Amino acid sequence: MSTRVPVPALVLIVLLAFGAAGSSPAAPAGPARIAPEKQIVLDWLAKPETVERFGRISDAIWSYAELGLQEFRSSKLLADTLEEAGFKVERGLAGMPTCFVATYGAGRPVIGLLGEFDALPMLSQKARVPAQDPLVAGAPGHGCGHNTMCTAAAAAAIAVKQAIDQRGLKGTIKVFGSPAEEIVASRPHMIRAGLFADVDAVIDNHSGSGFGTGYGRIGNAVFSVVFTFKGKTAHGANAWAGRSALDAVEIMNVATEYLREHLDPAYRMHYVITEGGQAPNVVPDRASVWYYVRNSDERIEEMYERVLNCAKAGALASGTDLADVRFIAAAHQQHANKAAAELYQKNIELVGMPAWTEEEQAFARALQTELKVKVEGMPSKVDPLRGPTGESVGGGSSDVGDVTLVAPTATILFPGRAPGAIAHHWSTVACNFGGTAWKGLNAGAKAIAASAIDLLTKPEELKKLRTEFDEDTKKVPYKGFLPADAKPPLDINEELMKKYRPLMEKAEIK
């Protein structure tokens, strides 16, 4: 339990910054008149007590740092917050105890906000400390800022509720509490369960260091698969009587390493051995390896077949059986909607980059110095709209990809992380608590809420999104990559959370 800056001091710094030099959405940017509905959401989110309330929720979820499908406390806190605000909340959906949908309003259009809240293993780090220093060694941490993300969506949705109530707006706002994004595991199941069936448009969000959005293909499709081999045990010193399942894993890995040379360059492939025996003097009769196979939507199925052949080769060569091929997840590339991104960009520009305090700039510079990246402090301007870069984009993956294929969707990236901080790394965990995280998620919430107001009140804008979406999906109709019998992997993080939860609760920042 230790932060460099005591929490009350952080609160003061944030409140002062918002009161004095913070971004001021209440004042119209330029000559454009802000619609009264939009002004309601911006004013409510700009209140210092709103900033603090959702900042504290985000900090609590940061402290819980729960892994995918184990986010019991995080999901409950968010669902309770929405329920107390008057939303109808359905919990435990699509076979996942931590999945929820919160709904307010009535009739069409239905605007969906996505919100994630899971952490990553091995990344525990003290808040706002600019050098690696775990809070609980080996424990999970919020290395992708998901603590700020569903919090931003919840804040935005509650702001939109004020506008619906005060202006008698027609339409529905929904928050999709989406577990396990770090293992890309929830959205394909949520789609399968019909949760997105009536949604007209989706506003996704992600934390980062910039403030912006984009359209076109983003990231890679992914198949996340565990291959398990079964052999025959024997004394390690009389191993001729046995058949090693670990040998099968190693032969498979050697085969996939040779495969790399012959894959389209935008592919990604990585693995960890999750089970490989327990002692050298006992031939392991069970071994497992967990693969992430990533490529474009067009290439992923063929690439996966070749990886599967490497697994079969490992079994054949070692005289073992490929006993189980378990799909943890399978998700599409993101196909972000251009009209949606253009609309969200206008609201990002309206909100503007938050103003950062000298303490926040100093922390960013200290972290950048430690990481040996450009020492530039926090960003001062929002990003320009990003256009498409082609089909084979490369990089990571998100199960938001499947959502983009069932409703027009774009992602609002909001700030908080120091530029140069690395995703899935302790440096991002260090950034996502207090000060900059509160302001970043608040700025994100304003852009999300303002965009939701546009979609609820301007049918001509919504029509642009829908027309583009209908044309795109006519060309490539949605077909999920998950096998028909795949279930959400509820057990995948159970052991790790059982081990670390008590230690983390002891270290929790209250």
**Count of residues in contact with Zn ion, rule CB under 5 A:** 1
Tokens standing for residue 468: 């583009």
In angstroms, what is the minimal distance from the CB of 120 to Zn ion? Answer: 9
Q: Is 230:285 a contact under the CB 8 Å cutoff?
A: yes
The residues, any chain, with a CB within 8 Å of residue 156's CB and separated by 6 or more, are 41, 45, 113, 203, 444, 445, 446, 448, 449, 452
Q: Which stretch binds Zn ion (CB under 5 A): 57-65, 137-145, 160-168, 502-510?
A: 137-145
In angstroms, what is the minimal distance from the CB of 437 to Zn ion? Answer: 14
Q: Is 435:357 a contact under the CB 8 Å cutoff?
A: yes
User: 118 or 454, CB closer to Zn ion?
Assistant: 118
- Give the sheet arrangement for strand 110-116, strand by strand: 88-91, 100-106, 171-178, 110-116, 201-207, 409-414
Q: Which stretch binds Zn ion (CB under 5 A): 140-148, 217-225, 359-367, 384-392?
A: 140-148
User: Hey, which residues does 269 pair with through a beta bridge?
Assistant: 293
In angstroms, what is the minimal distance from the CB of 179 to Zn ion? Answer: 13
In angstroms, what is the minimal distance from the CB of 397 to Zn ion? Answer: 10
The DSSP H or E segment spanning 272 is strand 268-275
Q: Is 454 left (phi over 0), alpha (psi -120 to 50) or beta?
A: alpha
Cα distance between residue 128 and residue 427, in whole Å: 9
In angstroms, what is the minimal distance from the CB of 144 to Zn ion? Answer: 3
Residue indicated by tokens 């928050």: 175
- In this chain, which residue has its C-beta nearest to Zn ion? 144
In angstroms, what is the minimal distance from the CB of 146 to Zn ion? Answer: 6
Residues 296-325 touching Zn ion, rule: CB under 5 A, are none
In angstroms, what is the minimal distance from the CB of 362 to Zn ion? Answer: 26
User: 26 or 422, CB closer to Zn ion?
Assistant: 422
Residue 32 neighbours by CB distance under 10 Å: 9
Buried b (16+ CB within 10 A) or exposed e, 67-99: bbbbbebbbebbbebbeebebebebebbebbbb
Strands of 147-254, DSSP E: 171-178, 201-207, 216-218, 221-230
CA dihedral sign, ordered 56, 62, 68, 71? negative
User: 294 or 299, CB closer to Zn ion?
Assistant: 294
User: 23 or 220, CB closer to Zn ion?
Assistant: 220
User: 213 or 244, CB closer to Zn ion?
Assistant: 213
Q: Is 144 among the residues that bind Zn ion (CB under 5 A)? A: yes
Residue 384 neighbours by CB distance under 10 Å: 10
User: 79 or 144, CB closer to Zn ion?
Assistant: 144
User: 99 or 144, CB closer to Zn ion?
Assistant: 144
In angstroms, what is the minimal distance from the CB of 149 to Zn ion? Answer: 8
What character string, x for contact with Zn ion (CB under 5 A) and - otherwise, covers 95-134? ----------------------------------------
In angstroms, what is the minimal distance from the CB of 90 to Zn ion? Answer: 24
First-residue to last-residue Cα distance in the chain: 9
User: 144 or 486, CB closer to Zn ion?
Assistant: 144
In angstroms, what is the minimal distance from the CB of 181 to Zn ion? Answer: 6
Burial class (CB in 10 A: 0-12, 13-18, 19+), 312: middle
Among 183, 187, 195, 190, which residue's Cα sits nearest to residue 489?
A: 183
Give the type of residue at 329.
A
Q: Which stretch binds Zn ion (CB under 5 A): 138-146, 210-218, 378-386, 455-463?
A: 138-146
In angstroms, what is the minimal distance from the CB of 289 to Zn ion? Answer: 24
Q: Is the peptide bond before 109 cis (omega within 30 degrees of 0)?
A: yes
User: 142 or 217, CB closer to Zn ion?
Assistant: 142
User: 34 or 120, CB closer to Zn ion?
Assistant: 120
User: 295 or 411, CB closer to Zn ion?
Assistant: 411
Outline where 20-99 has alpha helix (H). Answer: 36-46, 48-64, 72-84
Q: Which stretch binds Zn ion (CB under 5 A): 12-20, 139-147, 227-235, 488-496?
A: 139-147
In angstroms, what is the minimal distance from the CB of 12 to Zn ion? Answer: 30
Residue 33 neighbours by CB distance under 10 Å: 8
Q: Which stretch binds Zn ion (CB under 5 A): 142-150, 277-285, 377-385, 437-445?
A: 142-150
Q: What are phi and psi of 508, to 5 degrees?
A: -55, 140
User: 102 or 144, CB closer to Zn ion?
Assistant: 144
Residue 396 neighbours by CB distance under 10 Å: 16
Q: Is 400 among the residues that bind Zn ion (CB under 5 A)? A: no
Q: List contacts with Zn ion (CB under 5 A).
A: 144
